[in-house]
A and B are shown apart, each in its own frame.
Chain A
Amino acid sequence: MTAHSVAPGAGGGAKARGANVVRATDLTKTYAADGVEVRALRDVSLDVEAGSFIAFIGPSGSGKTTLLNLLGCLDKPSSGRLEVVGTDVTRLDRRQAAAFRGAQIGFVFQSFNLIPVLTALENVEYPLVMVQDRPPSERRARVLELLEAVGMADQRDKRPEQLSGGQKQRVAIARALVTHPELVLADEPTANLDRETAYTIIALMKKMRDEVGTTFLFATHDTRIIGAAEIVYTLEDGRLTGRQERQA
């Protein structure tokens, strides 16, 4: 399968690099589990520049997923400040948070989470149809372009059950990018894939970042793919304990 390039200016264009898309200050997240207080995140502060390709690593339970959930406006911090794309997301209600996610954030899940009753093309099209209410003329070209870019154009009429894990994740990446989000969050995107496919998926994400300029943040404990990240944050016991910049 060949991945084609996506036109930088297509339907939204490449993002300007340099500005911060995430500004997190002293983020803390505390859960109550069985009456016991669990501090999943402790005083995490970080700024993320637009167009970054960042990995969060750490053992299970270190707070990677919790951090991504906060950055993705799926959850709210117990304390601390969090701005995503210039918006104080801690003040958003459920509806506003949903609308914000639909406009600014793309998600890539570990289990792909494609909608089983929709074809690959319809899955990619879904956010434009059901979230952004874009007209057919506007969305079809964008969807085909992205499917082409992730190398899934020839599989567009297949349903998720007819696709391999790697193919599903390609479709999921296209779906995450179809609304031109500022930020794509990927939680263990390669955990269910074999090594070769995992490399391919990370390379594809990076290629899309290069072409579109969208910021990619992904959580992983897969040491094989960490090398692709430009910045690697290490989380341990809910704290950011390391930041390592790598040469791309």
Chain B
Amino acid sequence: MGNVVKIAVRNLLRYTRRSLLTVSLIAFGVVFVLVFVAMTGSFKEAIVASITDSYLGHVQVHRRGYVASIESLPLNLSLEPTQLAKIQEALGSEPGVAGASERIKFNAMFSTFVETTGLRITAVYPEREFAVCPKLPARIVQGDRTPAGLARGKILVPELLARGMGIKVGDTVVVVATNKDGSVNGKTLLVSGILESATGPGGRDGYIHFEDGREILRMPGRETMEVAIRLRDFGQVERLGAALRERLEGRGGGREALEVHTWSQLSPFSSVARLIDMMALFMKLMLIAIVLISILNVMIMAVYERVREIGTIAAIGTLPSRILSLFLVEGVLLGVAGAAAGVLVGAAIILVLDVWKVSVRFGGSLQLFALSPRVDLFEVVLACVMVIAVSALASVQPAVRASRMEPIDALRHV
């Protein structure tokens, strides 16, 4: 095999410019795929982390039917104390759960005494909410970033609303809401902070204390609309989501049943994430096409240019299988060289982009997402294996053609 490789290498070096061009083309494809995967992966990671860590959590549990009508934030689909106890029991027995936060969500009238507008309110226990959404404090652009900022009687106002209504930290506002029985209640609150908008639904909610929410809605018992859950390992979202679903949703259904949703089922960004994955797949298909066409072209040329040589080695007794291997190895070596060069250059570019810290905005958000492009070893290995396998595949036809040449015809070739 060593001799086959030696001859193949020398044959590639014989047409240095052509071989270099082919290797460069393959390397360019590999670089493109790796950098694309690294950048989009980082973008996805940043957005998903922003969504899950700043307001959504990794998994949420609701009463059945709540998510389907979430736009209206129905008050009659709250989790009852018995259901909440069941949820807490399930979460307590699952070591992958890092924390949970109960939330009351409702639509309210928000007034500065001068102007009034509508606002979605999320009422939370601040310590629990900050544990489930650790980026929430970072969204507080003005005011108190500690849980004390969400103590009873305080409110975090979304930035766009604050800007539009001229609200400042320390102002007094009124929140008025209708409870599920139709009675209206209001509460005066102190603006303790201005909250930066986050991407997606729920990213522009105001926050108050859980007990203030209960008070405004006049909830007699310990009802809650949703339980947001943070996992220790984000990579376990689907597995733990399925485990909780199995445990909480049960098989009976009905109004008493619960629903478990992972972040991807709740956020429209999951569609964007899927689109990004599709684009990455498309890039890989492009890479396959580049490798296939360039290697096939080079190997067809190689066979055509070396017909007499093939005739000679066949005449002196080289077996067809050995001739086949000579050309297969030549094609594979082009792929190996292209993949190696692509990985090296791609890694260097990704490193530079990581140091450079490229920032992007997403979906009209004011938030800047700093990307940290990284590529998994799996993606690198996948790209290399793909390139080498396609190189071998592309070399098969020319190699078979070479191995099947009749030496007498090949020797006559001019």
Q: Which of A's residues lie within 8 Å of B, judged by CB?
A: 69, 72, 74-75, 94-95, 98-103, 105-107, 109, 111, 113, 115-118, 126-127, 129-132, 175-176, 179
Contact = CB atoms under 8 A, between A and B. Distances in A.
Contacts of B3: 129-130
B411 A131 contact: no
Given A74-B407, A95-B320, A130-B322, A115 B315 contact: no
A107 B316 contact: yes
B351 interface: no
B408 A131 contact: no
A94 B317 CA distance: 10
A13 B180 CA distance: 108
Given A69-B408, A129-B3, A115 B318 contact: no
B408 A75 contact: yes
Nearest to B407: A74
B10 interface: yes
Contacts of A75: 408
User: Which of B11, B313, B314, B407 is the most central at the interface, judged by chain A CB atoms within 10 Å of its CB?
Assistant: B407
B319 A98 contact: yes
Chain B contact-residue range equals 20 to 34
Q: Is the interface of B mostly helix, strand, loop or mixed?
A: helix
A116 B309 contact: yes
Given A99-B317, A102-B316, 13 more contacts: A74-B411, A98-B317, A101-B317, A102-B317, A103-B317, A115-B7, A117-B7, A117-B10, A130-B7, A130-B318, A131-B318, A131-B319, A176-B316
Contacts, number: 72
A113 to B, nearest CB: 4
B331 to A, nearest CB: 16
Ranked nearest first, the 7 interchain pairs of A and B with the lowest CB-CB distance are A102-B317, A117-B10, A113-B312, A131-B317, A101-B317, A74-B408, A129-B3
Contacts of A98: 314, 317-320
Contacts of A118: 7, 10
Interface in B360-414: 407-408, 411
8 contacts: A99-B317, A101-B315, A101-B317, A107-B315, A113-B308, A127-B317, A130-B3, A130-B322
B196 to A, nearest CB: 66
Contact of B318 (A102, A103, A109): A102
B251 interface: no
A179 B322 CA distance: 18
Contacts of A175: 316
Contacts of B407: 74
Contacts of A95: 319-320
Interface in B296-336: 308-309, 311-320, 322
Given A75-B408, A113-B308, A116-B309, A131 B11 contact: no
B255 interface: no
A115 B408 contact: no
A127 B316 contact: yes
B410 to A, nearest CB: 10
B17 interface: no
Nearest to B309: A115
Contacts of B11: 117
A214 B317 CA distance: 18
